[in-house]
Chain A
Amino acid sequence: MKRKIYLSIIVLSITALVLELVNIHLSGRIASDSVAVKIIQERIGKQAERNQIMQSKVLELTSFENVASRAGELGFKEADSYISLHKSIKVAFNR
């Protein structure tokens, strides 16, 4: 009977000790994971920032106002009529 009691106490103590060690190990893992997560979060944040900046640039460049202004700088002109000729056409003269 006494032996059984001693055995139970020993088993329970060992179990408690093991669980405590596991708890310490897991807490340490979580704490260090937090550091890794923080680094990843910072990287994600930077990429998201770059992404949004690029999107804004694309919108600016593809806006009608910008395209029209650049077209003017490149020498494009508005058509005065709705018919245009791409090649010169020979015209016969009456002498």
Chain B
Amino acid sequence: MIKLGYLRLFVLSLIFILLYLAVVLRLFLWQVIHSEKLSDIGRAQSTQSLIASAKRGDILFSDDFPLATNKITYLLYANPKKVDSVFSYSKTLAPLLKTEEASLSAILSQNLFWVRLRSRLSYDEKSQIEKLKFDALGFEQEPTRFFPEASMAAHLVGFVGKNELGEDQGYFGLEGFYDRQLRGRPGRIYMVKDALGNPILTDVREEKKIDGRSLVLSIDRSAQYITDKHLKKGIEKYQAEGGSVIIMETSTGRLLASSSFPKFDPQKYYEYDSSLYKNPIVSTVFEPGSTFKVLVMSAGINEGVVEPDTRCDACSVPVEIGEYKIKTWNDKYYPNTTMTEVIQHSDNTGMVFVGRKLGLDKMIDYLKRFGLNESTGIDTQGEISGTIKEKEDWYTIDLATASFGQGISITPLQLVTAVNSIANNGLLVKPTLVDRIITEEGKVISTKPTVKRRTVSEKTAKLMTWMMVNAVEKGESKWTKIPDFRIAGKTGTAQVPVAGHYDPNTTNASFVGFFPAENPKLTMLVVVNKPKTSIYGSETAAPIFFNIARDLIQYYNIPPSP
């Protein structure tokens, strides 16, 4: 009997021990083996993770007015399951959203909980829709890139689109070049919330966001406006296909204005052909024509092979080179003409004379010195460079045509930067667009002017300057010059190559110059593409140049020449 009693006790104890072990094992399973998985599930249920979007940096004119900034727009969405009458929703919303009733009906009839109706609504549009008090509608804030000056400096700024991940990304211009610095880095906020969704303050973790850096440009808003206005008028007046203007601060290379037409609105870039996005001043090459003569003449003077009063003994008739005949632009010839007069008359035969005196080796050397075979290094996306052929690829005719700017292709920025070195006492400076970068903490990173190299001596630069002043005073553009101001300049009329030959009736007209000549402050290039009313630079690009110069002289209070 007693043994039976002990047996029962033993079995009962065993059962309790086994039960206890089962509970312990179960606890071990949940709290040790599956602990991480269960913690994650618990955290997901009670933790909220919010992305704190980084604010994209602003791009500011030199007067701190924004060229590109951010504004709030709204995305309108609907919950089709809450729509009581698709017909009444569509009929009311269609005119407000400027869309078809039928397509709106189709979207609202879907068996979904969330559908997008329209994005980038303004605050006023949102307020109008809110007044309808439709329960099925809701709004989400969307930061949108905003350009207060519309299409002003569009090619310089670029635009902001989406990448493959749907994130904002800058394309072209400054938005593209400085995209990494402008976009910043988003942050994350991890919060524990209670059953009602309210945050519990004791447990908030944050990965701090870093807002994008802002850029302050050298571009002067007033100068940019003046440039845009006159270039647009000129293109319309001369019925040109397009044109560009670049204005550079002589001593530093800072770009004060740059305008190109046709242009696009960066706010609605998608409505324009993608061929317009590229900035012509850095992304297209052209044959500069007679504006190039100032560089070749400077090279000749610098090498001592010619001087301003050297006389050309081969300028009385067209120059024959093999099967080619090089004529002047107006078929007028000046026997024994001086180099100063060669520039004044834009005499091609005189330039061939200089080119021959200089020789191929020196010609190639100076083209490289003036930076014509390398990118300028300007801080904008899409820059290309003209190329200088290797010595063995040059023919005799190439040396001759290069002397007056044909058969050689460069970007407008390369040309104005090279001519600017003459204005700047022979020093080639790197062009820049951004003066300062401002970090999120307010730290300022300044850009310093960079002198790349010396192209010609100071004496050569001064001599060339006075030859260019003489060209303005007595040359083809004398009718449009500004009285009381000495401006150094040169016209250019370059025939455009079409299907392997030059079309005499299709030109790129240009004018390059700087002022005031005695102490240059500004260097400017105007290019007019395929004008129809006149093919000549003196009759199209030059008047635009002087109209802009007139306004800039007033704006910058430049005193008359002594």
Binding site for B on A (CB under 8 A): 30-31, 33-35, 37-38, 49, 52-53, 55-56, 59-60, 62-65, 68, 82
Stretch at the interface among B141-149, B251-259, B365-373: B141-149
Q: Do B149 and A56 have beta carbons less than 8 Å apart?
A: no
Q: What distance in Å separates the Cβ of B354 from its nearest Cβ neighbour in chain A? A: 39
Q: Do A52 and B554 have beta carbons less than 8 Å apart?
A: no
Option from A33, A59, A64 in Cβ contact (under 8 Å) with B152: A64
Q: Do B199 and A38 have beta carbons less than 8 Å apart?
A: yes
In the complex, chain B residues whose CB is within 8 Å of the CB of A52 = 70-72
- Asked if B221 is at the interface of the complex by the 8 Å CB criterion, the answer is yes
Contacts A55-B71, A56-B146, A62-B148 known; list 6 others, CB within 8 Å.
Answer: A30-B201, A31-B200, A35-B198, A49-B141, A52-B72, A65-B150
Interface residues of B in 65-105 (CB under 8 A from A): 65-66, 69-72
Q: Do A63 and B141 have beta carbons less than 8 Å apart?
A: no
A65 touching B152 in the complex, CB below 8 Å, given contacts A31-B194, A33-B201, A34-B200: yes
Nearest B residue to A41 by beta-carbon distance?
B199
Q: Do B202 and A63 have beta carbons less than 8 Å apart?
A: no
A56 to B72, CA, bound (A): 8
A35 to B72, CA, bound (A): 27
Nearest A residue to B202 by beta-carbon distance?
A30
- Asked if B334 is at the interface of the complex by the 8 Å CB criterion, the answer is no
The 9 closest A-B pairs by CB, nearest first: A56-B71, A59-B148, A63-B148, A34-B198, A53-B123, A64-B225, A63-B149, A65-B150, A52-B72
In the complex, chain A residues whose CB is within 8 Å of the CB of B198 = 31, 34-35, 38
Q: What distance in Å separates the Cβ of B556 from its nearest Cβ neighbour in chain A? A: 14
Q: Do B201 and A34 have beta carbons less than 8 Å apart?
A: yes
Binding site for A on B (CB under 8 A): 65-66, 69-72, 123, 141, 146, 148-150, 152, 194, 198-202, 221-222, 225, 550, 554
A31 to B70, CA, bound (A): 36
Q: What distance in Å separates the Cβ of B34 from its nearest Cβ neighbour in chain A? A: 28
Q: What distance in Å separates the Cβ of B424 from its nearest Cβ neighbour in chain A? A: 29
Q: What distance in Å separates the Cβ of B266 from its nearest Cβ neighbour in chain A? A: 13
Option from B141, B150, B200, B221 in Cβ contact (under 8 Å) with A30: B200
In the complex, chain B residues whose CB is within 8 Å of the CB of A59 = 65-66, 69, 146, 148
10 A-B contact pairs sorted by A residue (CB < 8 Å): A34-B200, A38-B199, A49-B72, A52-B71, A53-B71, A63-B148, A64-B225, A65-B152, A82-B550, A82-B554
In the complex, chain B residues whose CB is within 8 Å of the CB of A56 = 69, 71-72, 146, 148
A88 to B71, CA, bound (A): 48
In the complex, chain A residues whose CB is within 8 Å of the CB of B141 = 49
Q: Do A60 and B148 have beta carbons less than 8 Å apart?
A: yes
Q: What distance in Å separates the Cβ of A31 from its nearest Cβ neighbour in chain B? A: 6
Q: What distance in Å separates the Cβ of B231 from its nearest Cβ neighbour in chain A? A: 15
In the complex, chain A residues whose CB is within 8 Å of the CB of B69 = 56, 59
In the complex, chain A residues whose CB is within 8 Å of the CB of B194 = 31, 34
Q: Do A65 and B201 have beta carbons less than 8 Å apart?
A: no
Q: What distance in Å separates the Cβ of A9 from its nearest Cβ neighbour in chain B? A: 30
A68 to B363, CA, bound (A): 48
Interface centre among A31, A55, A56, A60 (most CB of B within 10 A): A56
A38 to B152, CA, bound (A): 42
A21 to B324, CA, bound (A): 106
Nearest A residue to B152 by beta-carbon distance?
A65
Option from B71, B72, B150, B222 in Cβ contact (under 8 Å) with A63: B150
Interface centre among A35, A49, A55, A64 (most CB of B within 10 A): A64
Q: Do A53 and B149 have beta carbons less than 8 Å apart?
A: no
In the complex, chain A residues whose CB is within 8 Å of the CB of B65 = 59, 62-63
A71 to B199, CA, bound (A): 52
A34 to B152, CA, bound (A): 48
Q: What distance in Å separates the Cβ of B412 from its nearest Cβ neighbour in chain A? A: 24
A39 to B42, CA, bound (A): 26
Q: What distance in Å separates the Cβ of B226 from its nearest Cβ neighbour in chain A? A: 10
A64 touching B221 in the complex, CB below 8 Å, given contacts A34-B199, A37-B199, A59-B66: yes
Nearest A residue to B553 by beta-carbon distance?
A82
In the complex, chain B residues whose CB is within 8 Å of the CB of A65 = 149-150, 152
In the complex, chain A residues whose CB is within 8 Å of the CB of B148 = 56, 59-60, 62-63
A64 touching B199 in the complex, CB below 8 Å, given contacts A53-B71, A59-B66: no
Nearest B residue to A45 by beta-carbon distance?
B141
A31 to B148, CA, bound (A): 45
A67 to B18, CA, bound (A): 88
In the complex, chain A residues whose CB is within 8 Å of the CB of B66 = 59
Q: What distance in Å separates the Cβ of A45 from its nearest Cβ neighbour in chain B? A: 9
In the complex, chain B residues whose CB is within 8 Å of the CB of A60 = 148
